[in-house]
A and B are shown apart, each in its own frame.
Chain A
Amino acid sequence: MQALAEYVENLRRGATTIFEGLSVTFSHMMRPPTTTQYPDRTPKPMTDLIPERYRGFLWVDLDICISCRLCERYCPIDCIVIEDEKIDKILIESALDGKPTPKIKDPVRFDINLYKCMYCGLCVEPCPTGAIFFTKEFEGSSPDLADMHMRLVDDTRRAQVQAAAAEAARKAAAAKEAKAKAKAAADAKKAAAGEAKGSAPEAKGAAPAADAAGGDKAAGGNGSDTTAEGGGDGKPDANDG
């Protein structure tokens, strides 16, 4: 008897709960949708609807990037590749605190592979000048995977940077040459002073030798600059530094 009561109770509960559920969904069908229709019927432009700290695509302000490569080093999946050239020291204004920061290198290549990027933000945090940051852009759909490989330094900018770097290298070489000449002159003066002390023949032989060495060094510096313009992989740093 109890089993029968339970059976009937099960039936009743099944029927009434389904009835209630159907009335709830039916009432939902008569309400307006709560979703916003993306992309062309949003009340405001998408960028105004996105929260402030949204992590969209990465972007770099190359003018204030000092090419310290911290972002490249911190990236856990190596999706950032930077190549840079040495330029004349300039002062740029940090986007973080507005302080002037010295900049001695400028990237000639700054690639971010957004296809690999996982938007962790580890590149944004160490950046000393706030050059790399998240935008609110997120619409990355494209028929070609290569479109997701962002090359931030375009050809015009690379040409400008390389010209500036060549100019800087030429100046540096000239300065070095002048320094070497000055040193040679100083050596010669020293030698002359020595001659006056009494060991004239030895010193006379040494002075032209020092001159020749200074000339060679300057020539070597020029040569390394021309290769740097072609390849540009940080060799001049090793040579000049």
Chain B
Amino acid sequence: MQQYLDSLIAQWGIQAGWQVTLVYAAGMLTFAVIVLLLWVAPLAGFTSFVERRIAARMQSRVGPNRVGPNGILQWIADGLKCLLKEDLIPKDADAMLFKVAPYLVFLGMFGTFVVLPFSEKLIISDLNVGIFYILAVTSFVAVGIIMAGWSSNNKWALLGGMRSANQIISYEIPTGMALLTVVLASGTMSTQGIIQQQGWLPWEWNIFRTPFLFMAFFIYFIAALAEANRTPFDLPEGESELVAGYNTEYSGMRFALFFLAEWANLYVIAAIATMTFMGGWNVPAAVPESVRTLVQVLFFIGKSFFWIFVMIWIRWTLPRVRVDQMMELCWKYLVPMSFVGLLGTATWEAFVPRDNPLARAVSIALFAVALLLAVRFVMRVRYNLRETQARIHLNPIV
């Protein structure tokens, strides 16, 4: 994007000074609006629809299917409803903080899109501190949630906000450590750099590179679920305990912003997992130049959507954990294991060269383990279907 703006500046004959800054600012705003309108908002909305349909099928229901063909426009109806509702601010709330909080949450999610790549060329800015930037900017979410909980002047909201603070700050450590493991293995913090040093074949991905990275992937995924307040770690908004947690007092578009951030966050987590562990946009070298970008985008989004599906699937499988269990999982299991992963990767990188046949053998062995797990999983699913003598109905349209 910067190259494009630089070429524009050169074309318009602008020398230097405030005009250049203006062009950069205008360019950034334009890109932000394009990403927001064409990608983030429809993605979050559509993910909400897909989640509801998947949830329905997992619970043997039909799900939303009235608005548009097969309910596909349900998210637009929901968004319009939220837009038309009254923007209510409670009398005893801290009005200023109450108004600002949803924007901070949204900002924390939306800021990560600066460094999330879609293809080799499609990226807003390839920062050389990309991973660090992601970890830093997502902290806004914690601030926004605590702000929402505090300013609502409501005990449910405050409890939700406090739980969220405690949860997000705890799980920052395993998330950061797991990503740091990748940084250590890749030798760069730039998101494009991390993708470029992986290949398109599964055993060339970071996840199968060393056993420590394999472990780090699961640590990252669990910790990211907790950071995004997803089930089984949805304590901050536990419906059965806290009404709706930190967003109890919100209504209208501010309420919708929280949920926009929540569902867009699914994509952010999935995209980071894809980028750091799953080979990102790497495509076979045989793909012709003319469709390369398109295929890369499809690869990246396809892998990301798979992880979005996994997160939705986990949500409708596992019950919510208790607060003490959540903390125990973090401090007794994830944090020590992430340190083991970090030290192990450091040792591995020091003693095993990159293109060693041994390293390649380990990668392929890990991939085989993953394949075996997948086969075992398919067998378990077949067993479950056979035991209940269920009729199979694969068509998503009921």
Q: Which residues of B contact A156 (CB under 8 A)?
A: none
A19 touches B56 (CB 8 A): no
**Interface code A1-36, partner B: CB below 8 Å = 1, 0 otherwise?**
000000100110000001111111111111111110
Cα–Cα, bound, A18→B329 (Å): 14
A11-B333, A22-B317, A25-B313 given; A30·B62 CB < 8 A: no
A44 to B93, CA, bound (A): 52
User: In the complex, A145→B313 CA distance in Å?
Assistant: 41
Known: A23-B377, A25-B313, A35-B61. A30 touches B394 (CB 8 A): yes
Docked-complex contact A27 and B384, CB < 8 angstroms = yes
Given A21-B318, A22-B313, A22-B314: A30 in contact with B393 (beta carbons within 8 A):
yes
Known contacts A28-B57, A33-B56, A23 near B393 by CB under 8 Å? no
A19 → chain B closest CB, angstroms: 7
Tell me the bound Cα distance from A23 to B374 in angstroms. Answer: 11
Whether B313 contacts A28 by the Cβ 8 Å rule is no
- Given contacts A11-B333, A19-B380, A20-B380, is CB(A33)–CB(B313) below 8 Å? no
Chain B interface size, as a band, is 20 to 34
Whether B56 and A31, one on each chain, are in contact in the complex, defined by CB atoms closer than 8 angstroms, is no
Q: Give Cα distance in the complex from A32 to B396, angstroms.
A: 9
Residues of B within 8 A of A239 (CB): none
Tell which of B57, B59, B380 touches A23, judged by Cβ atoms closer than 8 Å: B380
Shortest CB–CB separation between residue A25 and chain B, in angstroms?
Answer: 4
Chain B residues numbered 309-348 whose CB sits less than 8 Å from any CB in chain A = 313-314, 316-318, 332-333
| B391 interface residue per 8 A CB criterion | yes
| Cross-chain contact of A34 among B60, B384, B392, B394 (Cβ < 8 A) | B60
Contacts of B333 in A (CB 8 A): 10-11
- A residues in contact with B391, CB < 8 Å: 31-32
Q: Which B residues lie within 8 Å of A24 (CB)?
A: 317, 384
Give A23 to B378 CA distance when docked, in angstroms: 8
Beyond A22-B313, A23-B377, is A31–B385 a contact (Cβ under 8 Å)?
Answer: yes
Q: Is A37 an interface residue (CB 8 A)?
A: yes
Q: Is B390 an interface residue (CB 8 A)?
A: yes
Residue of B nearest to A35 (CB): B61
Chain B neighbourhood of A23, CB < 8 A: 377, 380-381, 383-384
How many Å from the CB of B388 to the closest CB on chain A? 8
Given contacts A19-B377, A20-B380, A33-B61, contact A27 B318 (CB under 8 A): no
What B residues does A7 contact at CB under 8 A? 332
- CB neighbours (8 Å) of A21 from chain B are 317-318
* Minimum Cβ distance to chain B for residue A216 (Å): 68
Cβ of B390: which chain A residues have Cβ within 8 Å of it?
A: 27, 30-31
Partner of B54, one of A18, A29, A33: A29
Bound Cα distance from A228 to B61, whole angstroms = 59
Cβ-defined contact, A37 with B62, below 8 A: yes
For residue B58, CB closer than 8 A to chain A, the reply is yes
User: How far is it, in angstroms, between the C-alpha of A11 and the C-alpha of B390 when the chains are bound?
Assistant: 32
Considering the chains assembled together, what is the distance between the CA atoms of A35 and B381 in angstroms?
Answer: 22
**Alpha-carbon distance A96/B93, docked complex (angstroms):** 61
Across-interface contacts of A35 in B (CB, < 8 A): 60-62
Task: A30 to B333: give the CA distance in the assembly, Å.
Answer: 34
Q: Mark A80-108, 1 if CB is under 8 A from B, else 0.
A: 00000000000000000000000000000
- Are A25 and B316 closer than 8 Å at their CB atoms? yes
B10 CB–A CB distance under 8 Å: no
Instruction: Decide: A30 near B392, CB < 8 A? Known: A11-B333, A25-B58, A37-B62.
Output: yes
> Which residues of chain A are within 8 angstroms of B54 by Cβ–Cβ distance?
29
Interface flags for B349-393 (1: CB within 8 Å of A; 0: not) read: 000000000000000000000000100010011011100101111
* Whole-angstrom distance between the Cβ of B248 and the nearest chain A Cβ: 27
Alpha-carbon gap, A33 to B398, bound state (A): 8
Contact of B318 among A18, A30, A32 (CB under 8 A): A18
Given the known inter-chain contacts A18-B318, A21-B318, please indicate yes or no for A29 contacting B380, CB distance below 8 A: no
Within 8 Å CB of A18, what residues of B? 317-318
With A19-B377, A23-B381 in contact, is A28–B56 under 8 Å at CB? no
Q: Are B384 and A29 in contact (CB under 8 A)?
A: no
In the complex where A20-B380, A23-B381, A24-B384 touch, is A29 in contact with B57 (Cβ < 8 A)? yes
> In the assembly, what is the distance between CA of A23 and CA of B56, in Å?
16
How far is B378's CA from A30's CA once the two chains are assembled, in angstroms?
Answer: 12
B58 and A28: CB pair below 8 A? yes
Neighbouring A residues of B392 by C-beta, 8 Å: 30-31
Query: CB-CB < 8 A to A22: which residues of B?
Result: 313-314, 317, 377
Shortest CB-to-CB span from A6 to chain B, Å, is: 11
5 additional contacts, CB 8 Å, given A31-B393, A32-B60, A33-B393? A21-B317, A22-B314, A27-B384, A30-B392, A35-B62
22 A-B contact pairs sorted by A residue (CB < 8 Å): A10-B333, A18-B318, A19-B373, A20-B380, A22-B314, A22-B377, A25-B316, A25-B317, A26-B377, A26-B381, A27-B388, A27-B390, A28-B58, A29-B58, A31-B385, A32-B391, A33-B61, A33-B62, A34-B60, A35-B60, A35-B61, A37-B62
The 3 nearest A-B residue pairs measured at CB: A32-B393, A23-B380, A27-B384
Binding site for B on A (CB under 8 A): 7, 10-11, 18-35, 37
